[in-house]
Amino acid sequence: MSKDQKDNLFLLVKSLSKSEKRQFKLYVGRLDVNTDSKFLNLFNILDKLSVYDEAIILKCGIVKKQQLANVKAHLYKQILISLKMSPSHQNIRSQIREQLDFASILYHKGLYKQSLKILDKAKDVAIQNEEKNLAFEIVELEKIIESQYITRNISDRTDELTLQAQELSTLNVIASKLSNLSLKLYSIIIRTGYVKNEEESQQIKNYFKSRLPKVDIKDLGFREKLWLYKVYLWYSFLMQDFLNCFKYSLKWVDLFYRNPDMISHNPVFFLKGNNYLLESLYFIKNRDKFQDSLIKFETIVAKKSFPKDENVAALSFLYINLHKVNLHFMDGSFQEGLVLIPKIESDLEMFKNRIDEHHIMTFYYKFASLHFGVGNNKICIEYLDKIISNKSLSMREDLLCFSRVLNLVAHYEAGLDYHIETLLRSTYKFLIKMNDLHEVQNEMIKFIKGLQDIYPHDIKKAFKDLLEKLKKYENHPYERRAFLYLDVISWLESKIDNKPVGQVIRDKYLANYVMKEN
């Protein structure tokens, strides 16, 4: 049976570029004894396979079944060592770590002065590049060496190292507390989405206030400020405070623009900051600023000087394309948005091992919504089924919930009402199970359930009644989240005015644009 998605060694081999494969073979070939080794032969077989198949490997006769696990483990380690030696995988962190290793070797050989010289230079580089954990580690080794080798006035040197250690330790503790809080808030939003009621809101507020360390922004370096902005960003997202989301994501991105060297040292954080800035602008419906920010983001990522590796490539693809799609939701240009889908789907296949399932399902929801916007309801249902039939528990609960609500509406629009009762029951049960049955969803389900009892000439009045009921929830602190996933208001207006839903959203955007211009 194929295990191509499960075998880590196979995935590692398949991730290698041509130059990395060539380097690995050169690295292995430096010793003649390796030229016909079991692990190199296994590498060559795996390189040729399109899917992982243990039976084929064993049939080649290069290794016995009981030896395979050990040979695979050895090959995995050798590939990582080879990659570590590659210039393309060298960054400031690995360079500092290398110098620390060299200094440690010299120390153990009793060459204290040489060791201290390397450590002093490495420490300066670490501090300049905000690698304070490594800087602290270097200071600790300096203290050990100084206790055995007196280089100058021991009192001055002791005071200097002690003060450095205290300063670095304080900042590292702050960064650790902030990163812990940031990770926890992020895990909550990934698992459950935005706060759903006053009780959840109060819980998050209390949790946030009790764990937020007291800091003075003037005392913080780049790294600590970055974690601070992340913490406030995730808190704002959870509370659906999108203006503050914009505020702190902009601070995050501007922090990189004020420290351009940090973009190359921390490209992933730069990418994520821009992603959340665009997401915030999407939620506050500032299309012009959104488009300008997206163009600026794309331009920087496309530069030759911007770091390039598999992880950066996957995240760049994910964020840029997700927001290219979002642009069409902001002005109702759904038809134009459909053009993006084939290329994104093709690239998703290429990046499938580097993009998590949640984000793939998010793309499917966006694709479904684009098709719904132009009236391709059956295609919309096909994409939604990919989400609904996915049993992964790692996906956001609110994405799962609103996929089912949109699925109901799409079935109604497509005239597929022969099993609408079954869909209604399953959706209702799912929302109850997820504790996500709120007024907007409840009204939607009641409306669709009652459609069979409404005479055709009364249908427009029924749409107007539902619109009137839902309008009052548009700015409700907890109910409004429903409209972030499904623009029910525009859909109802499209039914009342006999217009495509995309046209309704487009008209609203143009009216708002003219208002801003005047």
| 3-class DSSP assignment, residue 350 | helix
Please state the domain extents for the chain. Answer: 8-89, 111-151
**Integer Cα distance of 14 and 29 in angstroms:** 20
Per-residue pLDDT tens digits for 206-233: 999 999 999 999 999 999 999 999 999 9
Walk along the chain (518 residues) and give the pLDDT tens digit of each residue.
344 446 899 989 988 888 889 888 888 877 655 556 888 889 999 999 988 989 899 888 888 888 899 999 999 999 998 888 776 666 888 899 999 999 999 988 889 889 999 999 999 999 999 999 999 999 999 988 887 765 555 567 788 888 999 999 999 999 999 999 999 998 888 777 788 888 989 999 999 999 999 999 999 999 999 999 999 999 999 998 999 999 999 999 999 999 999 998 899 999 999 999 999 999 998 999 999 999 999 999 999 989 888 889 999 999 999 999 999 999 889 999 999 999 999 999 888 878 888 889 999 999 999 999 999 999 999 999 999 888 764 556 667 788 888 888 888 888 887 777 788 778 777 777 766 557 877 787 777 777 767 776 777 888 888 888 888 888 787 777 777 777 888 888 888 888 888 888 888 888 776 555 55
Is 82:72 a contact under the CB 8 Å cutoff? no
One-letter amino acid for residue 406 of the chain: L
**Integer Cα distance of 225 and 210 in angstroms:** 19
Residue 323: CB atoms within 10 A of its CB come to 22
For 81-87, which contacts have Cβ atoms below 8 Å and span 24 or more sequence positions? 81/27, 82/20, 82/23, 82/24, 82/27, 82/28, 83/20, 83/24, 85/23, 85/27, 86/20, 86/23
Count the helices and strands in the chain (H runs, E runs). Answer: 27, 0
Is 209:232 a contact under the CB 8 Å cutoff? no
Per-residue pLDDT tens digits for 53-74: 898 998 888 888 888 999 999 9
Longest dimension (CA), the chain: 96
Q: How far is CA 139 from its chain centroid?
A: 34
SS (H, E, C) 485-515: HCCHHHHHHHHHHCCCHHHHHHHHHHHHHHH
Q: What is the pLDDT of residue 357?
A: 84
- Report CA Rg, the chain: 28
Using alpha carbons, list the distances in angstroms from residue 141 to 187, 218, 368, 457.
36, 29, 57, 83
Q: What is the pLDDT of residue 316?
A: 96
Distance in angstroms between the alpha carbons of the first and the last residue of the chain = 65
User: What is the pTM assigned to this prediction?
Assistant: 0.80
